Structure 1
């Protein structure tokens, strides 16, 4: 073997690389290499031309395998059964086969062309093993991730927003969901980048996972325009939180937006924390939920089911209060029946039913149920709006202000009396009668008047409920006021002055300006940047819901990598459907030495 020992000789124009490039051997090799590249691009390799008929059969067979895997993964179905051993004779089936083998056998029975093709496939190369399934899932998930990253890099303004949320996996480890938000061809899009695993929930570890996930996908963190997390200190801390560390690592200011859906949750939690009566009310509701889950009790209950009250989600509070209000009489009748010792209920159930009956029979309980039901129903439309992937920061603020104004309009005596009338059935709050004026000569005497007996207590109860009513509304209104109102309002005014439309929404502005982005590039980039800023991590939570559906009790043994692939394929099934089987086959062919030749 000949070559060069130093760069001086190698770069010499008379005898170095330059002279070698003019040699016949080099030009012949380059010609063959260019011919190889052209043949691969046009699918005309020599091996394909020689065995074209057999290669077509091989590709068709593997394509069917891919279609079965794609269908099961996209629809969140399991793959394998209790016994995956099968005979080399593909016509034999086993009752314990999983969906993958059963769906393949079903396809084989319906596809006459596949029945002809499979006769030419070697019996030892079936590509039905779990290892091949996992490899194909990895190829599909990697391709989807690359398509998302490529789309993000080619977005209209070159900048994107990251949304991150975390939870615990089925193994107890910490996992985080990373979502990208950007404007592409005039429309806002949100896509899942992946479910990453973290060593712990410390800010440094989370920041490392986020940056590594972006870099591994080929995205430059310097083009992050905003970051959206929940309000936990580990994420939102101004000194050691993830949002602060991200700015420190990237060395630029990246605005942080507190997730509006999490903010609504904090409104509910804080209203309960600041008012003992509301806190006790939800505690009683939780006990009711546990009580109604008893088999003997559940068989006798005909009303709407109550929901478990979780600290992570406030929607259970709304559904529970609505169920209590709608089925109050049914609950009272059930508790009376269970507390009656003459019925066939054990002592524990009777005692618990008696305690719950005494609590929910009080007028304060009924009033708080109606009050919280009214307040939470006002917040529900905002929560649904914030879950939309297309909502922008300014539109979200309009929704928040609308909810706030509605609650301010409720904060008066008329609103309280209207709410009290829903609770008052005549027994809890007796009607107030006019006091009879007494003569002055009876001032030195203690008189007994049946009309005034208990009236003071009734007035004290009504006063305490009114005070609670105002306290809850004040707490909710003050929690809504927490965002940086001045900054958002200023930004909104600036955009309105820029485009001269007081009622225009960002999506309308984008739709108009997209057709004129060459004429007004700066105006379009400004509007697109405002639309890129995310206000909710609902997409991250939706990916966790996909995880929950995938991880059924019979699928808890899968690795994190496989779970990530399945979640990404299911969550971004539309992108997967846009990827051709030809591209997937090429990747599968190049990923290793295949016993079944495809190209």
Structure 2
């Protein structure tokens, strides 16, 4: 069972998974990897006061311009004068997994225009909110935070995009998370492109009221930068603990089998079989599946799967019920493990796009049809509108008034 990790789903006493396990003790409860990554990233700022305030300010910036067409128009005019690309500020939301990077990128690219716009709003309209936001944006810590997140968030977003795919290879989850952790740890000693360029950025933005120097950068690095990266790395470690069942299912991975001597890792393989047999007791006992594997490992190493991926290997094994009934059942289970619930989340997003406030009277059947078209249908470029119109006309005789 895959879930978003909410307490109602995974609670120890009355959670859905707990109750289902009373019916089927062999149930595997998997917390969506994309949700885990989002939680690890979002909660990294919880014990850093300035970063919590930074998130609030980013929200205020978005609402300040989003709620006023006049302010947005003024910002675009200033961007045009500065010769920059006209960018729309993005809303930061912990439930929208890629929103943080897009919001930070937009602010970084239009920061001079943003400060100028806020100062003009404060001067021309005596807007206290604009004056306060301008003061915060001119704080060197704000620029340091923007630069830090511009270096860190792309690595987390790339990982998130992989985890949001329809088919996530669970053998790659731990290596990819570990690789991201190592990248962030190296960043502590050797900051990324944007943070390393902070002195030049501060110098170029002095005319817009940003004042700072090496002392400010050093203080930020010690008070925020190091703590934030530590939090992200530790959260990734805590949110992605080892799962012995998933680890045991890697027994079907051809890359973990010695081609020259399939018996080389025998002790490790037998240990994985013990884990699987101990959990899936309704399938078979350890001795039976061990006998199957003694024959199967030579086929895995030498004849069938030398050039196959892990997923392809599972598909092959899943069809061998006559030769290896127990191993085939294990492979079938591995193929349907829901590592990510991103598809479900996309359905909710689609529903919000289709059923807007102005279309709140849509019936259930029509809403379901429109969502199916949006999710599963062809793109506009591929859709055959002529055939659709002809089919619609053939369904029922319609009288078209002139």
User: TM-score scaled to structure 1, two decimals?
Assistant: 0.47
Residue number in structure 1 paired with 2:339? 535
Are the equivalent residues in 2 in contact too, given 1:393–1:534 (CA < 8 A)? no
- Structure-2 separation of matches of 1:352 and 1:313: 26
Q: Secondary structure at the match of 2:182?
A: helix
Aligned with residue 41 of structure 2, among 240, 247, 268: 268
Alignment of 1:487 onto 2:257:
no
Are the equivalent residues in 1 in contact too, given 2:97–2:160 (CA < 8 A)? no
Are the equivalent residues in 1 in contact too, given 2:314–2:334 (CA < 8 A)? no
Alignment of 1:425 onto 2:200:
yes
**Structure 1 residue 280, shift from structure 2 partner:** 1.2
Residue number in structure 2 paired with 1:360? 137
Residue number in structure 2 paired with 1:381? 158
Residues 530 and 333 of structure 1, relative CA distance in 2, 3 Å threshold: same
Are the equivalent residues in 2 in contact too, given 1:517–1:524 (CA < 8 A)? yes
**Structure 1 residue 547, shift from structure 2 partner:** 1.4
- Structure-1 separation of matches of 2:91 and 2:54: 14
Residue number in structure 2 paired with 1:312? 95
Q: Secondary structure at the match of 1:271?
A: helix
Residue number in structure 2 paired with 1:321? 104
**Structure 1 residue 564, shift from structure 2 partner:** 4.2
Q: Secondary structure at the match of 1:274?
A: coil
Residue number in structure 2 paired with 1:346? 125
Are the equivalent residues in 2 in contact too, given 1:234–1:240 (CA < 8 A)? yes
- Structure-1 separation of matches of 2:319 and 2:247: 27
1:352-387 alpha-carbon deviations (Å, 9 max, x no partner): 222111111111111111111221110111111112
**Structure 1 residue 521, shift from structure 2 partner:** 4.6
- Structure-1 separation of matches of 2:216 and 2:43: 26
Residue number in structure 2 paired with 1:9? none
Are the equivalent residues in 1 in contact too, given 2:61–2:133 (CA < 8 A)? yes
Alignment of 1:549 onto 2:385:
no
**Structure 1 residue 536, shift from structure 2 partner:** 1.0
**Structure 1 residue 519, shift from structure 2 partner:** 4.3
Residues 253 and 525 of structure 1, relative CA distance in 2, 3 Å threshold: closer
- Structure-1 separation of matches of 2:157 and 2:373: 30
**Structure 1 residue 234, shift from structure 2 partner:** 1.4
Structure 1: which 5+ residue stretches go unaligned? 1-226, 430-454, 575-599
**Structure 1 residue 288, shift from structure 2 partner:** 1.0
- Structure-1 separation of matches of 2:325 and 2:245: 24
Structure 2: which 5+ residue stretches go unaligned? 77-85, 205-211, 258-296, 379-402
**Structure 1 residue 565, shift from structure 2 partner:** 5.6
Residue number in structure 1 paired with 2:65? 292
| Map 1:584-599 → 2, pairs under 5 A | none
Q: Secondary structure at the match of 2:361?
A: coil
Residues 509 and 328 of structure 1, relative CA distance in 2, 3 Å threshold: same
Alignment of 1:471 onto 2:245:
no
1:276-318 alpha-carbon deviations (Å, 9 max, x no partner): 1111111111111112222221112233111222242232211
Residue number in structure 2 paired with 1:139? none
User: TM-score scaled to structure 2, two decimals?
Assistant: 0.69
1:298-357 alpha-carbon deviations (Å, 9 max, x no partner): 112233111222242232211111111122222122223333x3xxx4222xx2222111
Alignment of 1:406 onto 2:180:
no
- Structure-1 separation of matches of 2:199 and 2:177: 32
- Structure-2 separation of matches of 1:232 and 1:391: 21
1:195-218 alpha-carbon deviations (Å, 9 max, x no partner): xxxxxxxxxxxxxxxxxxxxxxxx
Q: Secondary structure at the match of 2:105?
A: helix
1:109-157 alpha-carbon deviations (Å, 9 max, x no partner): xxxxxxxxxxxxxxxxxxxxxxxxxxxxxxxxxxxxxxxxxxxxxxxxx
Are the equivalent residues in 1 in contact too, given 2:89–2:103 (CA < 8 A)? yes
- Structure-1 separation of matches of 2:326 and 2:311: 16
Residues 258 and 523 of structure 1, relative CA distance in 2, 3 Å threshold: same
- Structure-1 separation of matches of 2:310 and 2:334: 8
**Structure 1 residue 403, shift from structure 2 partner:** 1.7
Alignment of 1:390 onto 2:167:
yes
| Map 1:102-113 → 2, pairs under 5 A | none
Residue number in structure 1 paired with 2:118? 335
Are the equivalent residues in 2 in contact too, given 1:286–1:308 (CA < 8 A)? yes
Higher helix content, 1 or 2: 2
| Map 1:134-145 → 2, pairs under 5 A | none
Residues 549 and 464 of structure 1, relative CA distance in 2, 3 Å threshold: closer
- What is the Cα-based RMSD across aligned positions, in Å? 3.2
Are the equivalent residues in 2 in contact too, given 1:393–1:535 (CA < 8 A)? yes
Q: Secondary structure at the match of 1:424?
A: helix
Q: Secondary structure at the match of 1:472?
A: helix
Aligned with residue 415 of structure 1, among 175, 191, 212: 191
Higher relative contact order (CA 8 A, sep 6+): 1
Are the equivalent residues in 1 in contact too, given 2:144–2:195 (CA < 8 A)? yes
Residues 493 and 228 of structure 1, relative CA distance in 2, 3 Å threshold: closer
Residue number in structure 1 paired with 2:10? 236
Residues 520 and 488 of structure 1, relative CA distance in 2, 3 Å threshold: closer
**Structure 1 residue 491, shift from structure 2 partner:** 2.5
Structure index of larger Rg: 1
Higher strand content, 1 or 2: 1
Residues 356 and 533 of structure 1, relative CA distance in 2, 3 Å threshold: same
